[in-house]
Amino acid sequence: MSREMDEPADISVRSGPQSWMSPDMSWLGVLEHHARRTPDKPFATFGDDVVTYQGMLERSAALAGGLAARGVRAGDVVGLLAYNSIEFLATIFGANFLGAIAMPLNWRLAAPELVFILEHSEARALVCDVELVELANAATTGRDDLVRVCISRTESAGWEFFSDLCAGSAVPVRAPVHGDDVHRLMYTSGTTGRPKGVMITYDNLAWKNYAHIAEFELSSADIGLACGPLYHVGALDLTTTSLIAVGATIIIHQSFDGEKVVDEIERSRVTTVWMAPSMVRAVLDLPGVDERDLSSVRLLIGGGEKMPIPFIERLQRAFPSAWFADAYGLTETVSGDTFLDKASARTKAGSVGRPCQYLEVDIWDENGSSLPAGARGEVVLRGPKVFKGYWRDPDATRAAFGGGWFHTGDIGLKDDDGYLYIVDRLKDMIVSGGENIASSEIERVLYEHDAVLEAAVVGRPDTQWGEVPVAFVVLTRAATTTPDEIVEHCRQQLARFKIPKAVVLVDALPRNPSGKVLKRELRARI
């Protein structure tokens, strides 16, 4: 298959003959499609910066040229440690232009956590916001092989300006990709105490987009608001990538601010937005929010915890035209697996709805047998939007796909109408402010403290964040440390949202006859 570039003023790519069995599935092709049809349509706005679909294609191609000139090739990993911006999305497109793999990074992580991810992923380049350069420097000490790009024009030693990278280099031939090639790496909390790199393929992204476009009847007339962090599949994939797929316009906020969200909805007549439960609460708690005109919002996607009827009623008053699509999904499935339909918000309260197109959901017992309606078991998924596996971790991949289905680690049940209810988590995952926290991650850090003999972490209900981590600790005999000192130890190693909000010193952890810690008893204590 051959590809060659048109004249420099036209960044579109001409496709040569190719087999229908192996079409070019590049995410860049979606951008090219809309740039050809609606070149002057606003792709995204960020404050006063407005970029059209043609402009975004040109930015992405220029960035690809700069990365290629510095040695980035197809299959290389390009890390992205940045707040929301147009450059954030351009970096993903630019990496994909080369056939490279984009890797958004959670800027709330601590330096030791980023060190592991950058080393495990074998990242070749890192694009960073100037406000995060200090964190990035701490995470990349000794990495002289890393291409370092700073988005801001502020001088930062050892970093090249994003705008300089995009200037002066020849635009390379765009790399064709197959559906099974990796489009993006997303590191997620793992049960072993280390995050795992989720390999999202081009097929995964395409099938997710198809399903969500059908589910929500998205169109180019929609105006989306990306106010949650784009390193998270919620903001990136439950709104942004689906809306790009249909040629809509995205309004980007650098970070979440409830007041600014309400102002933006009124000013720009936003139609679609994703918000984690804590974000929704922050908006609903604003003084006078019921008197604001939020009627343009027709779709508000949420999820992550059960929503009581009074909360849903408050939501409906503030967003009178909106379908609050309570959702269930994982990073491994590019998010958005099930959605609660608008008509069932009350009658199926507590449910996360039924599966989207192209996805099967089942409930299995511990022997891998399908369970009938009403029976609790592990939620398993199958379909083309389910990821291909964990990066450089074949053992975890095999374990995740036992029996040919993806094992979510969540305990749920389906009712007679096929609605899914999530009732517990096998993985002891804590969901805090929309962020997944594996208790084992915190426990690993606790065990690194000399005074800690045993440790177990569970989630405590919290009115603002949904859940926060609480640690139960057994000290060694000679230990003289305090809970505050243990919290400070965690602060040096963990992202702020993972730091235990309380440390409870106990004489022993409750265990079953086989020695497993009974975390349900610890949850009951708090």
Q: Determine, yes or no, domain membership for 233.
A: yes
Q: Indicate which CATH number applies to the domain containing 497.
A: 3.30.300.30
Report the C-alpha gap between 11 and 8 in whole angstroms.
6
Task: Answer with the one of 380, 395, 425 that is the final residue of a domain.
Answer: 425
Query: Residue 202's pLDDT is what?
Result: 98
Q: Determine, yes or no, domain membership for 41.
A: no
- Same structural domain for residues 391 and 501? no
Task: Answer with the one of 177, 194, 222 that is the final residue of a domain.
Answer: 177
User: Structurally, how many domains does the chain consist of?
Assistant: 3
Report the C-alpha gap between 199 and 181 in whole angstroms.
9
DSSP state for residue 109 in the 8-state scheme: S
| Residue among 65, 96, 62, 61 at smallest CA distance from 78 | 96
Query: Which segments of the chain have a pLDDT < 70?
Result: 1-22, 190-193, 304-308, 427, 512-516
Please enumerate in sequence order all residues whose Cβ is within 8 A of that of 444, keeping only pairs 6 or more positions apart, or say none.
193, 194
DSSP symbols for 6-43: --TT---EEE----TTS----HHHHHHHHHHH-TTSEE
- Residue 437, both tokens: 């926290």
Q: Determine, yes or no, domain membership for 35.
A: no
Query: Residue 476's pLDDT is what?
Result: 84
- Residue 496, both tokens: 């702020």
Under DSSP, is residue 426 helix (H, G, I), strand (E, B) or coil? Answer: coil
Q: Determine, yes or no, domain membership for 444.
A: yes
Q: Indicate which CATH number applies to the domain containing 375.
A: 3.40.50.12780
- Same structural domain for residues 163 and 216? no
Report the C-alpha gap between 174 and 65 in whole angstroms.
10
Angle ∠(431,512,377) on CA atoms, nearest 5: 50
- Same structural domain for residues 171 and 284? no
> End-to-end CA distance of the chain, in Å?
62
DSSP state for residue 171 in the 8-state scheme: P
Amino acid at 315: L
- Same structural domain for residues 106 and 214? no
- Same structural domain for residues 380 and 447? no
In sequence order, what are the beta bridge partners of 125?
A: 78, 147
249-252 and 42-46: which strand pairing?
A: parallel
Report the C-alpha gap between 124 and 67 in whole angstroms.
10
Please enumerate in sequence order all residues whose Cβ is within 8 A of that of 6, keeping only pairs 6 or more positions apart, or say none.
12, 13, 14
Judge contact between 276 and 234, C-beta under 8 A: yes
Q: Determine, yes or no, domain membership for 356.
A: yes
Q: In 85-241, which ranges are E strands?
A: 101-104, 125-128, 147-150, 160-161, 182-188, 196-201, 223-226
pTM of the model: 0.86
- Same structural domain for residues 434 and 513? yes
Query: Residue 346's pLDDT is what?
Result: 83
Query: The domain containing residue 103 runs over which residues?
Result: 24-30+54-177
- Same structural domain for residues 225 and 326? yes
Report the C-alpha gap between 503 and 485 in whole angstroms.
10
| Torsion sign over Cα 244, 247, 253, 254 | positive
In sequence order, what are the beta bridge partners of 42?
A: 52
DSSP H stretches of helix in 188-308: 202-216, 233-235, 241-245, 258-268, 277-284
Report the C-alpha gap between 377 and 367 in whole angstroms.
10
In sequence order, what are the beta bridge partners of 274?
A: 301
Judge contact between 454 and 463, C-beta under 8 A: no
Q: Indicate which CATH number applies to the domain containing 69.
A: 3.40.50.980
Report the C-alpha gap between 161 and 152 in whole angstroms.
7
Q: Determine, yes or no, domain membership for 39.
A: no
CA dihedral 50, 56, 58, 63 (to 10 degrees): 110
Q: Determine, yes or no, domain membership for 171.
A: yes
- Same structural domain for residues 374 and 261? yes
- Same structural domain for residues 142 and 225? no
- Same structural domain for residues 380 and 503? no
- Same structural domain for residues 412 and 381? yes
- Same structural domain for residues 118 and 133? yes
Judge contact between 264 and 239, C-beta under 8 A: no
Q: Determine, yes or no, domain membership for 189.
A: no
In sequence order, what are the beta bridge partners of 432?
A: 435
